[in-house]
């Protein structure tokens, strides 16, 4: 066989191999991605295992649920890959390999108005603790409402007079006298910060923050919104309250925002009600992010997946309860990181917030 025919024979073999490989690849597609919100459940069959149940009752069998999230009734958001070819001994639910998981913060489909311990455990009445919780929460809500009113007024004024007036910064500066506000910004519809006050932060003018999840949400749905606690491009952790500003044809022309320090807000509006009482105060998001704690070391910490709390089953149990209830009473057998011992404390909590973003206000007995 001459070289010409040899080359054509080799080319034919390569072509057949490519066709077979392509056909096999098409016949074995990647596992479909699954996104779900559900509660962790503990099943005691087949030696015991953890599953996930969605609000409509669909059951999923996670093949790799991290140990830190193996708490019954913890509500989680999961992104995973379906594993239909996995045959499990449990014969329970649809197998899924978890790609990412986090505790639910907003829009919890399982949230209830109230939590209390099981019936066979007595709940002591402490009217003093309940009264101070009410005063503390009312004070904090008043602070949030004051910022909300101020920002709404500025947005209304800019809508009326236009974002391109000669001194837009002067309008934003009206909000700086509200306790808890670190700075205010004006953002255009492309996600670029066009104005910022005070001048301490002027280096961030021109910064595009479109990549932030919160900014994406603002641009998608132009309505008043308050963010979760997160790291800003300016380098600090904070909460953003944002209002749209509209043009004459009633389209979003930009967004003004107040960057809020929850600890500063709490110190002004809530702590005065606890002077001399001996109660500890914790402000937390439903997902377990601590916005404020009497112990400064705990402010800004996250309860879940945090080495600081890895030994503390009690704080995780409490976090499950306040995640899924707007208000309640609980007993936390919490591990003291400094003392190295466990102490049982009574915890009462309620909820404050703005625009569907909730903060839990927890009062802890000394």
pLDDT in tens, 213-263: 999 999 998 999 999 999 998 889 999 999 999 988 888 999 999 999 999
Of 114-123, 159-168, 171-180, 182-191, the one with minimum mean pLDDT is 159-168
Strand ranges (DSSP E) for 72-176?
Answer: 75-82, 94-103, 112-115
Return the top range by mean pLDDT from 11-15, 46-50, 135-139, 163-167: 135-139
The pLDDT assigned to 43 comes to: 94
Same fold? 33-103, 137-261: no
- Nearest to 315, CA basis, from 295, 288, 291: 288
Provide the token pair at 236.
Answer: 């600090």
- Residue 167's pLDDT band (cuts 50, 70, 90): low
Query: Which residues have a Cβ under 8 Å from the Cβ of 172 and sit 6 or more positions away?
Result: 154, 184, 185, 186, 195, 196, 197, 256
End-to-end CA distance of the chain: 94
Q: Measuring CA to CA, how many Å separate 165 from each of 4, 159, 161, 327?
A: 78, 11, 7, 45
Q: What is 112-119+264-364's CATH number? A: 3.30.450.20
Sequence spans of domains, the chain: 33-103, 112-119+264-364, 137-261
Provide the token pair at 50.
Answer: 């953890």
Query: Which residues have a Cβ under 8 Å from the Cβ of 301 and sit 6 or more positions away?
Result: 289, 290, 293, 308, 309
The pLDDT assigned to 308 comes to: 78
Q: What is 33-103's CATH number? A: 2.40.50.500
- Residue 160's pLDDT band (cuts 50, 70, 90): confident
The pLDDT assigned to 91 comes to: 82
The pLDDT assigned to 272 comes to: 96
Give the span between the Cα atoms of 226 and 236, in whole angstroms: 17
Give the span between the Cα atoms of 102 and 79, in whole angstroms: 9
- Residue 119's pLDDT band (cuts 50, 70, 90): low
- Nearest to 288, CA basis, from 62, 70, 51, 75: 75
For 323-358, the pLDDT digits (tens) are 999 999 999 887 655 556 678 899 999 999 999 999
CATH class of 137-261: alpha beta
The pLDDT assigned to 13 comes to: 42
Give me the residue label for tokens 């309620």.
Answer: 350
- Residue 163's pLDDT band (cuts 50, 70, 90): low
Residues 171, 186: contact at Cβ < 8 Å?
no
The pLDDT assigned to 123 comes to: 59
Residue 165 has pLDDT above 60, yes or no: no
For 51-79, the pLDDT digits (tens) are 999 999 999 999 999 999 999 999 999 99
pTM for the structure as a whole: 0.87
The pLDDT assigned to 3 comes to: 47
The pLDDT assigned to 102 comes to: 97
- Nearest to 360, CA basis, from 229, 178, 182: 229
For the segment 299-325, the average pLDDT, to the nearest whole number, is 89
């Amino acid at each position: 066989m001459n070289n010409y025919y040899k080359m054509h024979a080799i080319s034919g073999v390569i072509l057949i191999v490519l066709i077979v490989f392509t056909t096999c690849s098409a016949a074995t597609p990647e596992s479909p991605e699954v996104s779900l919100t559900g509660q962790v459940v503990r099943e005691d069959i087949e030696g015991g295992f953890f599953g996930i149940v969605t609000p409509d009752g669909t059951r999923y069998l996670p093949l790799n649920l991290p140990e830190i999230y193996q708490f019954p009734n913890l509500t989680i958001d999961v992104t995973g890959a379906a594993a239909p070819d996995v045959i499990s001994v449990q014969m329970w639910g649809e197998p899924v390999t978890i790609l990412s998981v986090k505790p639910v913060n907003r829009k919890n489909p399982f949230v209830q108005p109230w939590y209390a311990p099981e019936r066979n455990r007595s709940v002591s009445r402490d009217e003093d603790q309940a009264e101070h919780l009410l005063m503390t929460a009312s004070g904090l809500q008043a602070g949030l409402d004051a910022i909300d009113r101020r920002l709404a007024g500025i947005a209304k004024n800019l809508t009326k007079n236009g974002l391109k007036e000669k001194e837009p910064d002067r309008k934003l500066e009206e909000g700086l006298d509200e306790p808890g506000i670190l700075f205010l910004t004006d953002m255009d519809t492309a996600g670029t910060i066009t104005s910022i006050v005070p001048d301490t932060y002027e280096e961030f003018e021109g910064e595009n923050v479109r990549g932030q999840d919160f900014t994406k949400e603002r641009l998608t749905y132009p309505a008043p919104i308050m963010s979760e606690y997160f790291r800003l491009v300016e380098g600090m952790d904070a909460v953003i309250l944002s209002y749209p500003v509209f043009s004459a044809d009633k389209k979003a022309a930009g967004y003004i925002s107040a960057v809020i320090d929850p600890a500063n807000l709490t110190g002004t509006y809530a702590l005065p009600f606890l002077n001399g009482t001996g109660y500890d105060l914790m402000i937390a998001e439903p997902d377990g992010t601590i916005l404020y704690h009497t112990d400064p070391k705990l402010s800004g910490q996250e309860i879940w997946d945090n080495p600081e709390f890895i030994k503390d089953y009690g704080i995780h149990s409490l976090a499950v309860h306040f995640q899924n209830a707007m208000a309640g009473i609980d007993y936390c057998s919490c591990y003291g990181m400094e003392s190295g011992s466990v102490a049982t404390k009574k915890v009462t909590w309620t909820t404050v917030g703005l625009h569907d973003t909730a903060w839990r206000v927890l009062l802890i007995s000394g």
